[in-house]
Amino acid sequence: MLSPNYSNASPTQKSKEKPTGAENVRWDLTDMFATEEALLKALSDSLEQAKAFSKEYKGRLNVLEDKGYAVAMHELGSIQDSVGKAYTYAYLNWSTDTAAAHRGALLQKVKEAYTEISTNLLFFDLEWTELEESRMRDILSRPDMSAFGHYLEVLSLNKKHLLSEPEERIMVEKHNTGRSAWNRFFDETLGDLTFDFDGEKLTQQQILAKLHDSDRSVRQEAAEAFTSGLKSSIRPLTFVFNTILADKALDDRLRGYPNWISSRNQSNEVADQDVEALIAAVQAGYAHVGRFYEIKRQLLGIDEMTEYDRYAPIGEADRFIPWETAKKMVLDSYTAFHPQMGEIASMFFERNWIDAALAPAKRGGAFSHGAVPSTHPYILVNYTGKIRDVQTLAHELGHGIHQYLSRKQGIFHADTPLTTAETASVFGEMLVFQRLMSEEKEDANRLAMLMGKIDDTIATVFRQVSMNRFEDRIHTLRRERGELSSEDLSAAWMETQKPMFDGSVQLSQNYQWWWSYIPHFLHTPGYVYAYAFGELLVLALHAKYQVEGDAFASDYLELLSSGGSDWPHVLVGKLGVDLRDPEFWAQGVAAIGALVDQAEALMLKTKA
């Protein structure tokens, strides 16, 4: 690893935080590059290859012999894999210490090199979309084009949204000083932010973990501290939001997209009307959220639920889980489903593909980075020993297994659209949950675990759709009224979040500022509904697994191995699921309602 300089926590934090066993669980990035010089050499080589590619093919796609397209695609893929590996390294290296200037400088250097390489390859997309449709069909029908077919088919649909080559070049070259720069500023601002709690200065991840504490006074104090910290940076955060909202509005206008979400839906390979059906079905089920929080209020024995009570643990769900125990829970669950999944998951632990330690300036949250087919995925989590962290580990390992299996599809088809990217992760959470439930005999503990699971499901389905409604509101307002104030954004947040709770949770004035820390709104506008898509899809897939057993497991692995080689509805359709049926979403929401029914019955049973 280049210049390793990690510090897990301040001395004060070390004395007060209970060790989890994950303090030294750090990833090893040397699988990609052993030295910074090797990385920069790879970038230099990629640039020369990109220039040679441009010289060979620019202006000639319409006159290439049919067999020449496969050769060109292999060359293009090799360049993209090489530069993608460099970008992956620089981003992951920066993610574990966003305050380190040399890491930020390396990331910026790689971004700028990536941009220069991309501008040399830009012509290919434009010239491909200019080919006659009949010519495209002939080329894509060739057996040697199967590894690129769906990618090129989707690319052709972008034709009406592409600009001229000089305009596209400007868009690419300005990206590093535009949206990308503001996203980095946002990440570093949140990475540097600390929150004053009981004499300590906590990171975002640490303060958010305290919202899951069993002690209500701790949760309340954490909520106050979190709000105070966000408000201290609300002016720059508001400016970042406004800038990215305006930048997206400009992009959409220049490219001719009809609304703010259309480009995301197209990237997700799903029709606008299908997304609208999903959102409508989830909104129609908001009453399930209200019912759940009423059950939780009774179990907590409080008069009124507030925003800081939402993630309060119930009973056994508050237990502390060391890293090694979490590892065993997850590996046992994956192995029981299919041995190959267990083997792949084990590699992440054995080969140091996971970074789990808490550290100042480390990116909050969790992710699995698929990297490129020539290497392997890496996982980042911030492990605090909560049962929720075990589910997060299962979630990210699901992503990692998916990404590992789909590498065989090559650079163009390894990645999936966001709509199906959450399938394996949410399914992995379900496997761990069902295993824990099957092993637990005490009704009180089963209720605690079920309540935790519904908590996560509400966050994944209903909360994400309510956040989609917030995005819809602020993108629309920014385009209609111009720059928005912090108060405008806060009002939009409260107006779109309150309906989800159906009157069951009283939101204080503190909560109005909590839109400001959510990175998805900025990094990937429109992303959040994909979580609901994935959760409802998994409910259907898991129901099939319970009926079909081991036969389903093999088919499921084949789905993951397919990556993005075809349209999502086609790939998932092979498992007997129809993503284009609006009733499908309503059935998934009803399944969540059934979980709430189960929790209510268990509560009454434990009280009897």
Mean pLDDT of 571-588: 90
Instruction: Report percent pLDDT > 70 for the chain.
Output: 97
Nearest Cα residue to 391 out of 400, 381, 401: 381
β-bridge mates for residue 368, sequence order: 379
**Pairing outcome for strands 354-355 and 367-369:** unpaired
pLDDT score recorded for residue 402: 97
- The CATH code that applies to domain 15-177 is 1.20.140.70
pLDDT(317) > 70? no
pLDDT tens column, 86-138:
999 999 999 999 999 999 999 999 999 999 999 999 999 999 999 999 999 99
pLDDT tens column, 234-244:
999 999 999 99
pLDDT score recorded for residue 268: 92
Burial tier of 137 (Cβ tally within 10 Å: 0-12, 13-18, 19+): exposed
Mean pLDDT of 270-284: 93
Domain ranges of the chain: 15-177
pLDDT(10) > 70? no
Mean pLDDT of 442-463: 91
pLDDT(13) > 50? no
13-22, 54-63, 530-539, range with the lowest pLDDT = 13-22
pTM as predicted:
0.82
pLDDT score recorded for residue 435: 85
pLDDT score recorded for residue 17: 66
pLDDT(270) > 70? yes
42-51, 214-223, 246-255, 443-452, range with the lowest pLDDT = 443-452
pLDDT tens column, 386-434:
888 998 999 999 999 999 999 999 999 999 998 899 899 999 999 998 8
Rounded Cα distance, 455 and 324, in Å: 24
pLDDT score recorded for residue 3: 27
Q: How far is CA 434 from the centre of its chain?
A: 23
Rounded Cα distance, 303 and 235, in Å: 35
Rounded Cα distance, 202 and 606, in Å: 38
97-101, 437-441, 504-508, range with the lowest pLDDT = 437-441
pLDDT score recorded for residue 94: 95
CA dihedral 251, 234, 521, 105 (to 10 degrees): 70
- Region class of 3: left (phi > 0), else alpha (psi between -120 and 50), else beta: left
